[in-house]
């Protein structure tokens, strides 16, 4: 019932033009935002949702369509399950751009996305080892809080084999080697 209502409402809003992209119009691919949130539950009431010793929780994994900020995919897991564990098995829309945080840093998954012509913007973990190949100039009106724009090469052997991406970007807000 709720699923049918959601898609009826979504289609109606799209038909009226409410779900249009506000920024990044120069990107001709669909943009999706991938993230999760932990929803706390009372462990005494929801004993199946054990998260920590005294806490209960579920995790809601969401793939949000950037154009209308409407979920394209929702999946609920145990609160203790890592974000990337379910994302590895999701079928991402081909020819799209996925924006995610460091919880989704799994190079086999990213390699699979790359083979399916899925571009991605990903915040890297602090511990990543890489070498800067090319640093680009930042726009003069740097209101996006971009610290650096560079092409990188991952320096660890496993990463080197798996990561040969053409149009995908790894974003790292930490100091480089």
pLDDT of residue 89: 84
pLDDT of residue 38: 93
pTM over 0.85: no
Q: How far apart are the C-alpha atoms of 15 and 11, rounded to whole Å? A: 6
Within a domain: 70: yes
pLDDT of residue 151: 75
- Per the structure, the complete domain to which residue 137 belongs is given by 31-171
Is the Cα torsion angle 70, 73, 78, 79 positive or negative in sign?
negative
pLDDT of residue 173: 43
CB atoms < 10 A from the CB of 14, how many?
A: 14
Tokens of 171: 């974003």
Within a domain: 26: no
Within a domain: 42: yes
Number of structural domains (the chain) is: 1
Nearest to 21 by CA among 73, 75, 64, 60: 64
Within a domain: 61: yes
Instruction: Determine which helix (DSSP H) or strand (DSSP E) holds 123, and give its type and residue range.
Output: strand 119-123
* Residue 95 CB partners (closer than 8 Å, separation 6+): 29, 30, 117, 118
pLDDT of residue 172: 45
Mean pLDDT by 10 residues, the chain (177 residues): 75 68 74 92 85 87 85 87 87 89 86 85 78 79 68 65 52 39
pLDDT 10s digits, 148-162: 777 777 776 555 545
pLDDT of residue 63: 92
Within a domain: 3: no
How far is the CA of 62 from the CAs of 47, 53, 105, in angstroms? 24, 26, 16
pLDDT of residue 21: 62
Within a domain: 125: yes
pLDDT of residue 32: 92
């Amino acid at each position: 019932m709720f699923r049918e209502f959601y898609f009826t409402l979504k289609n109606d809003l799209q038909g009226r033009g409410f779900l249009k992209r506000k920024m990044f119009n120069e990107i001709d691919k669909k943009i999706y935002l991938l993230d999760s949130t932990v929803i706390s539950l009372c462990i005494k009431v929801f004993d199946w949702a054990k998260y920590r010793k005294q806490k209960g929780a579920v995790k809601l994994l969401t793939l949000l369509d950037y154009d209308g900020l409407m979920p394209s995919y929702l999946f609920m897991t145990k609160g203790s399950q890592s974000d990337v564990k379910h994302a590895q098995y999701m079928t991402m829309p081909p020819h799209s751009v996925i924006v995610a945080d460091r919880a989704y840093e799994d190079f086999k998954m990213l390699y699979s996305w790359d083979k399916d012509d899925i571009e991605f913007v990903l915040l890297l973990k602090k511990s990543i080892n890489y070498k800067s190949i090319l640093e680009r100039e930042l726009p003069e009106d740097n209101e996006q809080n971009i610290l650096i724009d560079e092409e990188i090469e991952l320096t660890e052997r496993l990463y080197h084999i798996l990561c040969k991406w053409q149009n995908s970007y790894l974003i790292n807000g930490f100091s480089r080697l």
